[in-house]
A and B are shown apart, each in its own frame.
Chain A
Amino acid sequence: MNPDHSSRSYLLAGASALTKPSDVFQINANFETFAHNLKLRTIEWRVLFAIDGYRTVREICNQLYLDEGQAREIFGKLALLNLIQEEEISLSDFLQRSPTGRVGDVPGGPALPAPAPLPQLTSGRPAASAASILMVSDAPAPASVPEEEVSRPVHPEAVPPMVASAPEPVAAVLSGAPLAPATPVAEAALGAESAPAPAEVATSAPVFTALVPLVASVPSAPLEAPETAADSAVPSARAPELATASAEPEVTAAPGSPRTSPKPAAPAAVTEVSVVAFVAEAVPTAPPPHPEPEPVALLPVALISEPNPAPAAETTIAAAAEATPAPAAEPAPTLAADLAPTPEPSTPAPAPDVAQPAAPVASARVSAPEPVVSAPVAPAVPPRRVEPLGFEFQTLGPSAASITPSVRPVERTPLPPRPPATPRLALPPAPRPSWLEPRELREVPRPVAPMSFLPVVTPIAPPPLPPVALVVAPVVAPVVAPVVAPVVAPVVPAAFVAPVVPLEPVASAALAAIAPVPPRETPPLEYVPRQPVSTDNPPAAAASVASVKTSPIPILPIPPAPPVTFAPPSPAVPPARSTPSESLRPAPARSIFGEPGTPLPPPAPIIIPTVPLAPIIERRTDPDAAPKLPAPMTTFVTGARLPGLPLIPPPVRPVEPLALPVSPPAPEPAAAGSPPAMPLMRPLTRITAPAPVVIAPVAPLTFHSAAPAPAPASTPAPSALAPLPAPVAEAPTPAATPPPPLPEFRLGAVIDFIMKQSGGGTLGQLATYRILLQVPPELLREAGIRSLEFDGSSDIAIKNVELQRALTAAVEKVLEVTVPPGAFLR
């Protein structure tokens, strides 16, 4: 950035020549882009930061105590480096850059005599809220204000036309700092807090918002500023924006003057940009040429963007300004003093030679009494983003080590102290449940009925064991018992010795103790989804296939009859417990002697009905219809029947009156396989009306007149010993015609009838199928009908009248015709 030395002199000379004392420079908008690469002298940096776009070169020179030559050189160099430039600005920009301070804002300004009291711009509100300088009113000035002070000429360049026409107080307010010192806005806003300010200085003490903070004027003593983490951050690109967007200039302080509140001329919606800076109080290496206040360096550290503050913040400022009036005798009313976090604003500034940690300076909205300097902190302000401002201050002089800034860039709202933990109530230990306590194995004596002749072995273990009877003869029982009992007790706890008595009453009691077996209910048949079944395992396949329509019924296992030894019931013997669940269980009496005393009767007969293994086909659609397959009930009879169990009637088939034909019935064909037995419990259904009796015509008997005696109807068998009668020659009898065969009920006739009625063919065959579906299959099987072919080979005679009736009824029902008599006879 530094120009070449050869051409530098000429350019610098030219630039310096062009610099006029009345010029107003401002920092280039692109300053931040190359700020870090700049190499400037200290005085040049000071000049650079003194440029605020508002003050003239002369004012800056006066502030920095520069002579004309230095000023021309520095300004020319800065202009040559394109760091500063002079440009025309708008009114709003001008107003934004308007000085907020008063005459004495610039430290080290020329000590001018205090001006006369200025006309006061009174506010409609009390002084506490008068900080909102937007509420400037044009009330008439107090009478104490000299008229000549009000009418002082203002800067001709700074008076906007629009302001010129306004009333003087208002015009003075709106004209801003460049006006005559008689119209400092802050002073008018603050009313009585006026301070003398020379006209020349009044317009030279603004703070270039946040970008160019106040730099103490230490001409010969370079101010040393530390580099903090925030300082060394990258330069912020917001600096130019800050100059224009910040509607609220920095609080400036002047010696002996109260703090002033900035006058935001910009719209209220401007985002406030606060600057957290450090105020370091450094000791100049050389005494200043003038007795001047303590040098203060305001080091911008970071920008804190925050929402637009509430208007009340300004009130806070005003209140703070009132609460912390800077005493006139205060030697160094610096920013640090104004915005010191110390709660007591009247604390005098420290000695110049004492390095003191500077208090961070925040924006203008910081109220002084607040211990922490920051922007107006609302209770619910979200965390703010800290952006580095991008200013680096080089270490200036050997006193750098003495500067100990207090880095507090961001205020953090302290969390409320955590309340002390409430001590928990010490609950008494819960009583331990009894079931958790270790159990004590106690021997619980069982109540045992006293026995008359034998001691009872007390069971040791709680679980009851079946009693064991030590069966002995009654005679030897008193002798054997004392000897056997101690021996048997460890082995069979529940043993006792009982004399043997006749068993009849015992058996009766045992049988009576057995509860009758309740009739079991057949579980409902359910449909079971079928799966492919392999025939590799025929039983499993059969069971799976049978599950299509059936449901297997569990079969109760038949326990083998154990050897039972009965003991006589004795009043000394405890009654046997009989529970319903154990009713079927035989008493596990054992004989330790290996042989019973007396021969036992046969075991008690128990009938346990079971169901057949074959599944039962369920008829779901026609529950009234008889099942297709019989369901024989197999019984395992081991003896007498239990009471309560229904007896199974013997398979008795209903005897029906049969109309026997006159002719002897033809012998039934021998079936290849005998038909299965009829179901025992299955009633015969579908018994229709009795079949018509077919009486075959009987041939009339003929009698021969020549016969000596009428021949008996039934000729007795000729005896082999009796002589044969002699034939009658004169009266030969005609030969008797053989009787025609009686017509039979033929199955072929039925099929033919069906085929004829249904049209034959497939329909006739299906009609036959439908008709035969109506006939009980048992009858068909009894008749030896295993299959039926439609080719005429199944023409058999049906002898069973019931089957005949069933066939006739089925035909009439399915075909809805009336079968004429003899239609199925052939």
Chain B
Amino acid sequence: MTEIELKVFLDVTRNFFEKLGSAPVSLGAPSLRFDAPPLHDFTGLIELGGSTAGFVCITMPRAMLSALLLAVGERASGDVALADMVGEVANIVASNARAALGTSIEISHPTAIMGSKNGPMLPAPTFITPVFWNEHVGHLILALESA
């Protein structure tokens, strides 16, 4: 997977927040981490397979997810709704990335992870890109095994 293909994930994430239209979105300076990346309250995890194996995570704090729910018209703000929302975001990002990358990439169903203390064992290093939206900061994590 080349840089251009990896960039698809960033573009898709940005487009998702841009489509909400409620607030501008921007991607911050990325970073590479060689240990366990920090996670927020909720994390949507999607495993990639095929030619490129790894994970795509979107981790967001509770407030950001609540704002997202309000942006999409959801009134519920419980943990289940938040977990569903973060999983939905991850699914959308991964699905759009697959649509852009073709069938060479395989995408699993999203998995919502609640909590920031115990994150998944992601392969290092991870490419972490902060997502600034509506005064909230989330992170897009690319944890690929090889690229």
What residues make up the interface of A, taking CB atoms closer than 8 Å to B? 529-536, 538, 541-542, 545-546, 548-550, 615, 617, 619-622, 625, 628-629, 758, 762-770, 772-773, 777, 780-781, 785-791
Contacts and interface: CB of A to CB of B under 8 A. Distances in A.
B117 interface: yes
Contact of A534 (B115, B144, B145, B147): B115
A762 B10 contact: yes
Interface in B10-69: 10, 29-35, 45, 47, 53, 55
B118 interface: yes
Given A781-B35, A787-B34, A534 B47 contact: no
Given A762-B7, A777-B124, A786 B118 contact: no
Nearest to B128: A787
B33 A786 contact: yes
Interface of B: 1-4, 6-7, 10, 29-35, 45, 47, 53, 55, 79, 83, 87, 109, 111-121, 123-125, 127, 142, 144-147
A534 B83 CA distance: 10
A532 B120 CA distance: 12
Given A536-B115, A545-B119, A617-B123, 7 more contacts: A532-B111, A758-B3, A762-B30, A763-B7, A770-B3, A787-B34, A788-B33
A618 to B, nearest CB: 10
A533 B34 contact: no
A541 B31 contact: no
Contact of A628 (B33, B45, B83, B124): B124
Contacts of B87: 532
Contacts of A773: 125, 144-147
Contact of B29 (A532, A538, A790): A790
A532 B32 contact: no
A787 B1 CA distance: 22
A253 to B, nearest CB: 97
A619 B32 contact: no
A773 B1 CA distance: 12
A763 B45 CA distance: 24
A789 B29 contact: yes
B53 A781 contact: no
Contact of B31 (A535, A780, A790): A790
Contacts of A758: 3
Contact of A532 (B55, B114, B123): B114
A443 B34 CA distance: 72
B114 A786 contact: no
Contact of B3 (A545, A546, A766, A781): A766
B34 A770 contact: no
A762 B140 CA distance: 14
Nearest to A793: B31
Contact of B117 (A538, A617, A619, A621): A538
A615 B121 contact: yes
A770 B142 CA distance: 11
A545 B113 CA distance: 8
Given A548-B47, A628-B123, A766 B115 contact: no
Given A769-B127, A773-B147, A777-B124, A534 B6 contact: no
A622 B123 contact: no
Nearest to B10: A762
The 4 A-B pairs at the shortest CB distance, nearest first, are namely A535-B115, A530-B111, A766-B3, A788-B32
Contacts of A770: 1-3, 6, 147
Given A530-B111, A787-B33, A787-B34, A766 B6 contact: yes
Contacts of B83: 532
Given A530-B111, A781-B34, A622 B146 contact: yes
18 contacts: A533-B118, A534-B114, A535-B116, A538-B118, A541-B114, A541-B117, A542-B118, A545-B119, A545-B121, A548-B47, A762-B30, A766-B7, A770-B2, A770-B147, A787-B34, A788-B33, A789-B29, A790-B29
Contacts of A549: 121
Nearest to A548: B120
Nearest to B30: A765
Contact of B121 (A548, A790, A791): A548
A592 to B, nearest CB: 52
Contacts of B146: 621-622, 625, 773
Nearest to A619: B145
B125 A546 contact: no
Contact of A763 (B3, B79, B111, B125): B3
A184 B100 CA distance: 106
A288 B113 CA distance: 118
Contact of B147 (A546, A763, A769, A791): A769
